[in-house]
Structure 1
C-alpha cells in the first residue's frame, strides 16, 4: 500500500511536469527564514532586575527578513500571519528540538589576538588550556622547533606561559630561553599578558643592559626607573637581568626585532579569530584594548611625525576580504598625558577626530560609544581611509579603556592591606600588595582621567583586578559623579572586577545603608565608605544609581585559577568571594562575563558554567573540583579565615556567589550589549534586532551538573547568515567555504564568491561520486588570484567517527570527479602544491591530521585545498588570474549526526526517503505539487467543454 501511494504521488508529480501548473511565487518575501521546532529562549526579561530572574521567556517561532528579526511569537500567530506559507518565505528551518538563543556578546577580550597565537606564535599554555608542563621539557623544545623554521635573526614569539603550572614553579629566565636559540630573539608572554620573558639576544636588540641597574637593583633608562624590569643579585654581588618584565611600562622596553614577514598577517589573524569566536557561539566580539593608530614616523627631536592605522584597519581589511563573519566592539585607549605607550590615548582621540591641545575637544562628527564605525576613516592617519563598500553595523565604537593595575595571578594586581596571601611563592616579602609594578600611574591621575571623560558623558572601562584597584576606581567614579550631577547613564564598567568587595557593590548601586555598620570588615576605605559629605553630594546614592554602573567579571578565574587563588594569591577569605556575581544579583548591580581571550579561550558556555557552579579545574597542583564560593544566602553571614598565610584569623563574608542559568545568560547576552550601548540591536531575540543567534544541541536549562561548558554549538548565525556549523535540518555537513588564512607568501585571493549545490543537483549536473561515497557537501566558487599562482581554500565540516583515510575531496566536472591528493605541503611547497588537500582539527589549524586519525562525530574540522591558476585539472576557469572549482567532500564512513541521535533517516546519502525519480525529499515535494497542478489543469480543460 505504501509503495502504491508513493507511486501515485510520483505519477501525479510527473503529470504536473507535463501540465506546467503550480503556485505563483510571491513578489516580495514576508520572511527570508523562519525558525521553529525547538526551544527558543529570547532573553527579553528585565535585565535591570537580575534578582527577579527565574523563568526564561520563550517563543515558538522566529522569522527574519533582511538580516533582522521581524517576528517572535507562537506558532499559531506565525501561521495566522503567513510565516509558514511557502509563497511568503525563503526557507523554513526545523530546529529539530535544539535550543536557539541570542548570539553571545563578548564582555571583554582582545580580538583578534587568538588568531595571532594559532597561526604565528608558540602556544605555551599548560593544562587545562594547553599541553605545557615544564620549562625544560616543553617550552625550550617547542621554541627551538619554531626557531628552526624561522629565518635567523627574526623574533620567535611564545604566548601563555604560567609559572605556577610548570614543574619548575618559576618564570623562564633569559638563560632558559637562550637554550632554545642564540640566533633568534625570543620573547614569551605570561598567561596573564602582564609579564614577558626574553632571551639574551632580545635584551641586546632592545638595548637593555645590566650596567643600567642602579645600586638598589632597579633598571634605569634616561633617568626613569623601571621597577618592572626584574633583576637579581649575581654570585659576585652585582645586579643582573633575569629577562623577566612585569607590566606595560617595563614590557614596552622590549623591541627585540622583526617577526617573520607574512603577507596580510593582520587580516589572517582576523579570519582565524572570527572562526574561533563563531565556533563558541559569539556573534559580537570585543577588542578591549584597541589601538586605532601607531607611530609611523619620527622627527630629529624624536617626536612622532606621522601615524599608520592599526586595529580598525585590520578588521576593516577582514571585512573587505570576506573573512570577518561576526560583529566587533572596538575600545580605544583613553589615557591622558601618561607618557610612554599610554600616549596612545591621545592618538585614539586624534584618530577619531577630536581637536585641541592633547586632542581633548570632541569633534562635531566624532563617533560616540555604540556608533557604527565599520566604514570610519581615521583622521591624520596614513592608510586610515576605510575600504569602499563595507557592510554596515559590523564594527561598533566601545567605551574608552584604561588599565589601572595588573594581574592577580602575576602578582601585579593591586591589593589592599595586608597584600597577597602567599607573597613568598612569587619571591616577595610579607605585605607585598602588587606595587610598585602594578600601578603605572597615580591615583590622582586616575581620578583626573575619570573626571575628564565622565564630564563629557563618555563611558569608560577600567581594568581593575585587585581590591585596592577597585577601591580607587569606585572612589574616582564617585567624585566625578558628584562633580557633574547632570551627567546620567554613563554605564562606566570595571573590567575583571575580581576582588570587588561587598561594600564596593553597595556603593556602585548607591546603597549606603550598611556601610557604617560593616566598616570593620574592610581595610583601606575611601570615598563614600567613610565620607558622609560625599554621600550627600551624591543624593544619598541616587546619582550613582542613575549611572547604571557595571561590573564585567572574569568569572572563569574560578575554574582556571580557583585553587591557586585560594592557596597562593588571595587566600580563602577573599578568594571565595572573588568575581562576586552573587552580590551583584542580590543588589541588582548590572554585570557581564568575559573570557579575556587570549588569557583564557573564548567560551561563553565555560563562563556560564563558572557563574552557575564555581568549581575549579584540575591542574598540575591538584584534582580541582573545589567550590570557589561561600555558602548560604544570608548577606550578613560570616566565616573566619586567616587574612594571610600563617596569619591571624578574621571574619569574611560567607555568601553563595553562584547564580542561576538565566541570570548568567543575561551576563553573556543582553547586558554586555547594554554595556556597549548596542542593546537596541543585539543581545536578545526581539523584533527589529539583528538576526544574530546561537543554536545549541541541548537546553542550558536542562544540562547536567558540570556539563554546561560541554554543550555543543551546532550553529552560529549573524544577520541570518550561518557563520559556523550547519543548521539542524541541513542535508549538507560542510560549511563556511572561503579563502584560507594560510597562503603562499605574496598571494591574496580576492573577490571570492561561492554557492552551495544541493546533493540532488550535484548528482544531476556533475559526474557521480564513486560507489559507496556519502556526500558531505558540494560547492562551486570563483575568485581572483595572481596569474599563474596557487591559492589555498578552506571549509568547515563535521566529523563522523571515520578515519581521515576514509575521506576524499573531489574536483567535479560533467564527465569526471578528479581526486585531490592528501598531504599538507610545507610553506615552501605551497606555490607548487596544486591538487593537494589536508584536514586539520578546528582547534589546531596548522597541524595536518594523519590518515589514521579518527574524526570525532559532530566535532568540527577544516579541509584545506590548493589550486593553481590555470591548473589543467583543478582550475575550472581557464582565464588567467581567475580560479574556479566545483568541489565536493565525501566519505565512505557514515554521515554526521549533527547532534541528532542515531543515523539519519533514509539512504546513505542522507537524503531520506522519497520518490525514486528524485534523490531528495525536495524533489518528491516538487513532483507532488506539479502533479496537483496537472490535475487542476485537466479540470480546467474539461470545464471548457474539452472532455
Structure 2
C-alpha cells in the first residue's frame, strides 16, 4: 500500500474541471482493480471520497473534477479494493474471548490435534501467563473440537486435571455450545453426582454417574453465562475491543453481536462512546431474556458505531456436537447415544411462538438459530402462524445457520420471506465429520445448501459465527465457492456458487439483511466509504487459492482501521494478541474466577436423549 498527499501524476496532467468545494475529494483511491459489487457498474478505475462518503466512482479521468490541493492519493499498488465486508452472523464481544484465551483450535488455525497437544497448549499458555494465573486462579481455553482430536472424543475432567488439580481449568468447544471443566472447576460450580441440569442442557456422566466434566447447551450456559456475566464492565469492554479489532483484521467494517444482552450492549455503547470501536456493531439481544430492553433500544441508526437491530432466538444446538434437533436419527454419532437419537430443542414450541409473535406484532426483526431439520420445522410453523395473525410487517426475519435443511424447507423459507444466513465454512471445518457421522454421505452433500437457495433466486448471507471459527473472510469466501473439506473432498458440488455470488453474500446481501443496503455493501455514490483491500482480485485467481488471499487494509469511513504486517499469512495466525499482557490477563482471569464462585441454580431434570 502507498499513500501520497501529493496529487496523482496522471491527474496533474489533465485539465482540471471547475468544481465547488463540496465536490473536492478528501481521498481518491486508484491503482488496482476495484470491484464495486454494483451490477450497474461492476468495476471502476477510481473512487473519490469526501467526509467519509463516496463522492464519485468511475474512470481515473473522471476524478479530475474532484482533485484539489488537499486531496490524498491512495495508491492500491495493484491490489484489489472491495466494499467492506458485512458480518451476516457472529459474536463480536464473545470473539474477544477467542482473542484473550488459550488457542485450542485445530490446524490450520491452531495446533491442537489430540488430547496431549491440548494439554500441552493449555500448560504453555498458563506458563506464559504464570503471574496472572497464580493471582486469578484460573486457566481457560477456547476452540477445542472433538471431531478433530485423534481420540474422537471430548476431553474429560480427568484430562484437564493433568493440567492442574488445584487451579480451575475450563475449555470451550469450538461451537460454543458445550465445554469441559476440570475437577476443581466443577467443585467451584457446585456440580456433583446429585446435580440436575436445566431444561435444554445435559451434564455428561461416567459409568458411575459422576459428572465427567462435559456440559452441553444450557447446562454449559448455566456455567458460562454467570462466569462471563461477572466479568464486569472492564472485562466485557476488553472483550469488545479485542473482538472488534479481530473483525477489522479480516476486512469486516460491520460486525454483529448475534446473541447479546442488555448489559453487553451497554458496554458496547460505552466502548463506542470512548472511540474504541474500529467498526460498526449491530447487536441482537436474546428475546427470551431481554425483551423489554430490545423494545426500548431497537433502532435503525448507529450511535457511536453501535445499534440494537432486533431480537435473537435459539431453537437448538450444535450439529457437529450432536445437539441440533433433526427430523431423523443422527447417522453415526460418536459417543454414548441411544438408538434413534435425533438431538433436542433448547426451547419449547410455546416459547418459540411467543417470541416470534412478539417480534411480528412490534415489527421487530428476529434472527433465529436453527440448525437441524426438526428445529426448522418448528420455525416454519411459528412463522406461518405469526404471518397469519399479523401479516408481513416487513421485518425481514433471518434464519441463522440452517445446516441441515430439506429442499422443501428452503422453498418454505422463500414463501415466508426469510433471509437465510448460512454457514458454508462448515464444509471445510466439519464437512468430513458431517459426511461420516452426523448426517451421512448422501445428506452431507446438502449441508449449507446455497445452490438450492440460488435456484430460487433468494439472497443469502454467509457467516463465520466467530468465535465458533475465526472471522476469516477469505476462508468464508473459499468454502462458499469450493465446498472443499479438510480432507480435500468436495462436499456437494451442486451446492457451489460462483465467486461474485459469494462476494455478494458477504457484502450487499447482508447489508440488505440489516436494512443497510442504502448505506453499505457496495461502492456507490452516497454510500459510506467502507472498503477492504485484498492482495489480489478474487474474481481473477484460481478458486482453489481463495483462502490464501490476504486482507491487507481495512478502511472504515475513509480511515484505515487495520493494516497487515508483511508476511501475516506466513505460519499460524496469532489470535491471542493480548494473552501475554499480564495486566489484561490478570483482569480477565480474575473476573472469570469470581464468576466461577457464583452458586449455580440447577433448575430441573436433564432432557432425555431422544
Q: Is 1:453 aligned to residue 406 of structure 2?
A: no
Q: Is 1:692 aligned to residue 601 of structure 2?
A: no
Q: 1:614 offset after TM fit, Å?
A: 0.5
Q: How does 1:364-763 map to 2 (within 5 A)?
A: 366-372=296-302, 374=303, 391=304, 394-417=305-328, 419-423=329-333, 425-435=334-344, 439-485=345-391, 487-510=392-415, 544=416, 547=417, 549-617=418-486, 624-630=487-493, 656-725=494-563
Q: Distance in 1 between matches of 2:224 and 2:348?
A: 23
Q: Provide, for residues 331-383 of structure 1, a one-character-per-residue CA deviation record: whole Å limited to 9, x for no partner.
A: 11111xxxxxxxx224xx2x35x4xxxxxxxxxxx4445332x2xxxxxxxxx
Q: 1:320 offset after TM fit, Å?
A: 4.0
CA change 1:260–1:136 in 2 (3 A) is farther
Give the conservation status (yes or no) of the 8 Å contact 1:226–1:250. Answer: no
What is the DSSP-based 3-state SS (H/G/I as helix, E as strand, rest coil) of the residue aligned with 1:220?
Answer: coil
Q: Distance in 1 between matches of 2:225 and 2:83?
A: 42
- Equivalent residue, structure 2, for 1:228: 202
Q: Distance in 2 between matches of 1:175 and 1:403?
A: 31
Q: Distance in 2 between matches of 1:800 and 1:226?
A: 41
Q: 1:178 offset after TM fit, Å?
A: 1.8
Deviates more, 1:694-703 or 1:67-76: 67-76
What is the DSSP-based 3-state SS (H/G/I as helix, E as strand, rest coil) of the residue aligned with 1:607?
Answer: helix
Q: Provide, for residues 727-771 of structure 1, a one-character-per-residue CA deviation record: whole Å limited to 9, x for no partner.
A: xxxxxxxxxxxxxxxxxxxxxxxxxxxxxxxxxxxxxxxxxxxxx
Structure 2, gaps ≥5 residues long:
1-17, 582-610
What is the DSSP-based 3-state SS (H/G/I as helix, E as strand, rest coil) of the residue aligned with 1:408?
Answer: coil
Give the conservation status (yes or no) of the 8 Å contact 1:369–1:459. Answer: no
Give the conservation status (yes or no) of the 8 Å contact 1:153–1:184. Answer: no
Q: Is 1:44 aligned to residue 38 of structure 2?
A: yes
Q: Distance in 2 between matches of 1:842 and 1:243?
A: 28
Q: How does 1:41-440 map to 2 (within 5 A)?
A: 41-45=35-39, 57-79=42-64, 82-83=65-66, 85-87=67-69, 89-119=70-100, 121-139=101-119, 142-143=122-123, 146=126, 148-149=130-131, 150-151=133-134, 154-210=137-193, 212=194, 219-220=195-196, 228-234=202-208, 239-253=209-223, 264-293=234-263, 311-335=264-288, 344-346=289-291, 349=292, 351-352=293-294, 354=295, 366-372=296-302, 374=303, 391=304, 394-417=305-328, 419-423=329-333, 425-435=334-344, 439-440=345-346
Q: Distance in 1 between matches of 2:234 and 2:177?
A: 27
Bigger Rg over Cα: 1
Q: Distance in 1 between matches of 2:48 and 2:117?
A: 55
Q: Distance in 2 between matches of 1:800 and 1:282?
A: 17
Q: Provide, for residues 40-68 of structure 1, a one-character-per-residue CA deviation record: whole Å limited to 9, x for no partner.
A: 1111238xxxxxxxxx7112221111111
Q: CA RMSD in A?
A: 2.9
Give the conservation status (yes or no) of the 8 Å contact 2:103–2:121. Answer: no
Q: 1:501 offset after TM fit, Å?
A: 1.6
CA change 1:444–1:25 in 2 (3 A) is closer
CA change 1:484–1:696 in 2 (3 A) is same
What is the DSSP-based 3-state SS (H/G/I as helix, E as strand, rest coil) of the residue aligned with 1:589?
Answer: coil
Q: Provide, for residues 217-248 of structure 1, a one-character-per-residue CA deviation record: whole Å limited to 9, x for no partner.
A: xx427xx66751112322xxxx2111111002
Q: Distance in 2 between matches of 1:260 and 1:444?
A: 30
What is the DSSP-based 3-state SS (H/G/I as helix, E as strand, rest coil) of the residue aligned with 2:554?
Answer: strand
Q: Distance in 2 between matches of 1:245 and 1:800?
A: 36
CA change 1:180–1:674 in 2 (3 A) is same
CA change 1:315–1:433 in 2 (3 A) is same
- Equivalent residue, structure 1, for 2:25: 31
CA change 1:475–1:154 in 2 (3 A) is same
Q: Distance in 2 between matches of 1:241 and 1:280?
A: 39
Q: Provide, for residues 687-721 of structure 1, a one-character-per-residue CA deviation record: whole Å limited to 9, x for no partner.
A: 11110001112111111131112112221100000
Return the TM-score normalized by structure 1: 0.56
Q: Distance in 1 between matches of 2:140 and 2:457?
A: 43
Q: Provide, for residues 489-545 of structure 1, a one-character-per-residue CA deviation record: whole Å limited to 9, x for no partner.
A: 2210110111122111111222xxxxxxxxxxxxxxxxxxxxxxxxxxxxxxxxx3x
CA change 1:675–1:506 in 2 (3 A) is same
Higher relative contact order at CA 8 Å, sep ≥6: structure 1 or structure 2?
Answer: 2
Q: 1:318 offset after TM fit, Å?
A: 3.0
Q: 1:582 offset after TM fit, Å?
A: 0.7
CA change 1:798–1:268 in 2 (3 A) is farther
Q: 1:263 offset after TM fit, Å?
A: 9.6
CA change 1:127–1:564 in 2 (3 A) is same
Q: 1:138 offset after TM fit, Å?
A: 3.0
CA change 1:564–1:331 in 2 (3 A) is same
CA change 1:156–1:262 in 2 (3 A) is farther
CA change 1:414–1:175 in 2 (3 A) is same
Q: Distance in 2 between matches of 1:801 and 1:284?
A: 23
CA change 1:799–1:405 in 2 (3 A) is closer
Return the TM-score normalized by structure 2: 0.85
Q: Provide, for residues 601-629 of structure 1, a one-character-per-residue CA deviation record: whole Å limited to 9, x for no partner.
A: 11122111111110012xxxxxx110110
Q: Distance in 1 between matches of 2:251 and 2:136?
A: 40
Structure 1, gaps ≥5 residues long:
1-23, 47-55, 213-218, 294-310, 336-343, 355-365, 375-390, 511-543, 618-623, 631-655, 726-795, 803-839, 849-861, 863-947
Q: Distance in 2 between matches of 1:332 and 1:246?
A: 21
Q: 1:550 offset after TM fit, Å?
A: 0.6
CA change 1:367–1:583 in 2 (3 A) is same
Q: Provide, for residues 58-108 of structure 1, a one-character-per-residue CA deviation record: whole Å limited to 9, x for no partner.
A: 1222111111111122334333xx12x333x52122323322111000111
Give the conservation status (yes or no) of the 8 Å contact 1:196–1:251. Answer: no
Q: 1:270 offset after TM fit, Å?
A: 2.8
Q: Provide, for residues 841-891 of structure 1, a one-character-per-residue CA deviation record: whole Å limited to 9, x for no partner.
A: 75453588xxxxxxxxxxxxx9xxxxxxxxxxxxxxxxxxxxxxxxxxxxx
Give the conservation status (yes or no) of the 8 Å contact 1:105–1:284. Answer: yes
Q: Distance in 2 between matches of 1:141 and 1:722?
A: 34
Q: 1:568 offset after TM fit, Å?
A: 1.0
Q: 1:577 offset after TM fit, Å?
A: 0.5
Q: How does 1:845-860 map to 2 (within 5 A)?
A: 845-846=577-578
Q: Distance in 2 between matches of 1:800 and 1:589?
A: 36
Q: Distance in 1 between matches of 2:307 and 2:578?
A: 31
What is the DSSP-based 3-state SS (H/G/I as helix, E as strand, rest coil) of the residue aligned with 2:147?
Answer: coil
CA change 1:504–1:122 in 2 (3 A) is same
Give the conservation status (yes or no) of the 8 Å contact 2:317–2:346. Answer: no
Across the two proteins, how many residue pairs are aligned to each other? 560
Q: Distance in 2 between matches of 1:660 and 1:706?
A: 12
